[in-house]
């Protein structure tokens, strides 16, 4: 009986060694696959980043006009359209008023009086942006740097 147990123990030890070796091979394959995936993801992200940078840097009057107009209508209260046009100070003002009004609305209900103001400003500016001609928009907001309305 002890020989049977010894054989059984040897077989179990061999099976354990094979499983250990198999796990090691699987781990190495997984590391290699993960490295390939990571390299491909980095390459794709770099290509996307370069394309996005090129698209935004080449956005002239028409592209910025439409983009700024639509963003002003949809996200006007957050000031996203101001950031797109390069008006950081004005974008921060709109974003700050929106955040402050939401905080006041949650805390005291006082924000209900002012929460709609940045949204209306964004809606009006979006309509103005989209109704101007390309040349007029470019001269007013990109060359002349007119920050409000």
Handedness of CA 73, 51, 87, 135 (dihedral sign): negative
In this predicted structure, what is the pLDDT of residue 5?
61
pLDDT cut 70: percent of the chain above it: 78
Q: Which pair of structure tokens corresponds to residue 79?
A: 């000031």
In this predicted structure, what is the pLDDT of residue 92?
92
In this predicted structure, what is the pLDDT of residue 73?
93
pLDDT, one tens digit per residue, over 45-102 is 667 666 655 655 555 545 688 989 999 999 888 999 999 888 999 999 999 999 988 8
Is the pTM for the entire model greater than 0.85?
Answer: no
pLDDT, one tens digit per residue, over 13-54 is 777 788 788 878 877 876 787 677 667 767 776 676 666 556
pLDDT, one tens digit per residue, over 120-147 is 999 999 999 999 988 888 888 888 777 7
């Amino acid at each position: 009986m002890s020989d049977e147990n010894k054989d059984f123990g040897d077989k179990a030890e061999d099976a354990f060694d094979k499983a250990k070796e198999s796990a090691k091979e699987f781990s190495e394959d997984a590391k290699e696959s993960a490295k390939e995936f990571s390299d491909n993801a980095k390459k794709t992200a770099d290509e996307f980043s370069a394309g996005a940078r090129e698209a935004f840097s080449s956005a002239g009057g028409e592209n910025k006009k439409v983009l700024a107009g639509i963003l002003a209508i949809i996200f006007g209260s957050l000031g996203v359209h101001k950031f797109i046009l390069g008006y950081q100070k004005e974008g921060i003002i709109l974003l700050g008023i929106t955040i402050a009004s939401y905080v006041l609305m949650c805390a005291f209900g006082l924000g209900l009086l002012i929460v709609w103001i940045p949204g209306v400003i964004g809606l009006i500016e979006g309509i103005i942006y989209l109704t101007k001609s390309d040349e007029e928009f470019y001269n007013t907001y990109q060359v002349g740097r007119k920050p409000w309305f």
